[in-house]
Amino acid sequence: MAACGVIWCIGGLDTSGGAGLLRDGITAASLGMPVAQAVTLISVQTHHSAISVQSTALSDFEKQLSALEAQVPLAVKIGALASSAQCRALTSLLHRIINQYPDLPVIWDPVLTASTGQTLGTISREDIDALLDVVTILTPNLPELGRLAEPLTSQEQQARGLLRGRMQAVLVKGGHRRQAEATDTLYTAGYTWQFASAMQPVQLRGTGCLLASAIAVLTAAGFAPEDAVCQAKARLNQCFHTAFPVAQKPEKIQVAPCLHHVLSQRDMPRVDRDRTLCVQAEFARLDRPDMGLYPVVDSLDWLEQVLQSGVRVAQLRIKTITDALPDIIHQAVALGRKYHSQVFINDHWQLALAAGAYGVHLGQDDLQDADLTLIARSGLRLGISTHGYAELGRVLALRPSYIALGHIFATKTKHMPSAPQGPERLAAYAELCGDIPTVAIGGISIARAPQVWATGVDGLAVVTAITEAADPARAIHALQEVTDHVR
């Protein structure tokens, strides 16, 4: 994929300006991405009534598609299509482009009717299936899902039945339901994610276009589908907070302004993954939220060595379970008390609880089985690993003792399914966490430490920068010089 390019947006032109290609362009531009567009139809409408739909002639549409090829696509966002002929022409183009750019994200928001209720076009089943073969993320509402998927018994069966070929994710939008929360459900090969936000008392035009075009921009920027959807949903929530009225009758019809780059916790959806994380108590706060250097080690010898250096926090990470593990954890707890340091035990929360540990650190998968309410009520501090917007949204509502943000750079200590986040994203995540302490982790060397520390995190978690150093004591001192520096 080229370093520069545009988002291709193919869809309808809404003359009211509230939805369609205009909304795509405003959204992409707000997120710093230019667009190139092809018009499938012109929907003549006001913000509350439809007047007519005029399809673009096939020959003119094909000329527009040909013009698109002059600019490298970083992602493709598809909206309304007026006919099977248009669908075939677009599918043919996408096959050619995907041969050049095999990882090209293709997002289809299958707009079958206008928000005012008008049917926008008809496409044959055969042509729908051909287009689905090149799509990577599909964003239907529930009625659209029913028209696109096999007539199975459940929403999940229908959505998962579409996860084939290039399709990485199906986002079923729930805003049309009359419920207290608008919950969008994302189905991927690995997980089912729910992104819920309070239902707003106003009707915002173009929400589907905004959501899908934001997902296109964010996947072009390298975000995983769940992280792109989480951030896009947050952007949509942001628009509800700042939208302005455009029609007096009927009342409460609004349109979204340009997006803001900075997200707040108020914008973030409530995120669930496979199971709701419910906690009936608050997690204990850190005694020293200014964590600074945070060594992660795999033995008692290493733990004592780093604690002797005066670090304020450390973690014992032992993955192999043996009969000696309970005693090892008891000794680790004793070392933490001896050196007046906040020692966290990785994974083994039951043993940590039995040993009276200061804290426990859990990964995302560990949250499924851990008794979070018991951990909170016991006073055991909790640190949680995150790897992007979706996992961060999942744990923000828990308000753990700290949040680990990673992996920042490529790391050789463990296989990571996600891509490195980098310092720029790290800074955004740290700001989003607000007053919850944050720890950066993953590939942090002595040379990289100043850049990472400058993002505003409260701690630098390191492994090999110490354990593989020729002189561990000198490495610890060098890293402490970075984290003790006043920003």
Residues carrying CATH 3.40.1190.20, the chain: 6-273
Which pLDDT does position 118 carry in this prediction? Answer: 47
Specify whether domain 292-483 bears CATH 3.65.10.10. Answer: no
Q: Picking from 81-85, 111-115, 260-264, which range would have the lowest pLDDT averaged per residue?
A: 111-115
For the chain, the average pLDDT equals 90
Residues carrying CATH 3.20.20.70, the chain: 292-483
More confident residue, 88 or 243: 88
- Cβ distance 139 to 215 under 8 Å? yes
Is 170's pLDDT higher than 60?
A: yes
Is 10's pLDDT higher than 80?
A: yes
At 1, the pLDDT band (50, 70, 90 cuts) reads very low
Entry field: residues in the chain: 487
Q: How does DSSP classify residue 275?
A: B
- Cβ distance 384 to 393 under 8 Å? no
- Say which CATH topology domain 6-273 has: UDP-N-acetylmuramoyl-L-alanine:D-glutamate ligase (3.40.1190)
Which pLDDT does position 414 carry in this prediction? Answer: 66
Q: Quote the tokens at residue 151.
A: 């007539």
DSSP codes, 72-132: -EEEEEE-----HHHHHHHHHHHHHHHHH-TT--EEE----B-TTS-B-----HHHHHHHH
**Other beta carbons less than 10 A from residue 394's beta carbon:** 24
pTM for the structure as a whole? 0.91
